[in-house]
Amino acid sequence: MKQYTAEFLGTFWLVLGGCGSAVLAAAFPDVGIGLLGVSFAFGLTVLTMAFAIGHISGCHLNPAVSIGLWAGGRFPAAKIPPYVVAQVLGAIAAGGVLLTIASGAPGFDVSGGFASNGFGAHSPGGYSMVAALVTEVVMTMFFLVVILGATDKRAPAGFAPIAIGLTLTLIHLISIPVTNTSVNPARSTGVALYVGDWAVSQLWLFWIAPIVGALLGAVAYRFIADE
């Protein structure tokens, strides 16, 4: 239960910090943090939580990561369902807190997107469904390669949180214009449920693509790393 609680809290922090930066601070008048700031916010949530709870739960914060670690031989299958439930609930709770905060500003309207992921008309850059699918698969694949490599017993000890956090930052720098960057089904769900409508109808892609990418990343890492 302590592991599941850690995953709940860690995913809560990821969604509140990452999506919160996008909703509250990205375009704040005159001093908005922009895409660069949002990218770093997502990376920093993972970096800080990896140091805080990595020794408790492994700091997955992401159903695709849990599944990818299982495929990489690092995580038992029996723990995947409770981990995923804890992650999704943490994301939804964070979305609710963020909505409460954001609603305190005049003129706020959740239909503006609320940091939801999307494609086509709901992609920040108008990218197609195929472009979004490929982006999410490839980005998650390399995310898993880095996670598995950085946490390998042969890797330099103590640096994994930094490598993983910076990788998530890089992923956002590349893909925010395409999908608003998911690579995490829980993160996508945590805000989409409050938007409803298109955000929920497109949510399938942000579950399927990250999971496929995570499995491919696990296969790729095992191929290059197994002795």
Low-confidence ranges of the chain (pLDDT < 50): none
> What pLDDT shows up at residue 113?
79
pLDDT at 226: 80
Structure pTM? 0.92
Query: Hey, what domains does the chain have and what are their CATH numbers?
Result: 2-225 (1.20.1080.10)
Task: Give me the pLDDT at residue 27, please.
Answer: 74
The pLDDT of residue 116: 94
CB 18 within 8 A of CB 45: yes
Per-residue model confidence (pLDDT) at position 227: 62
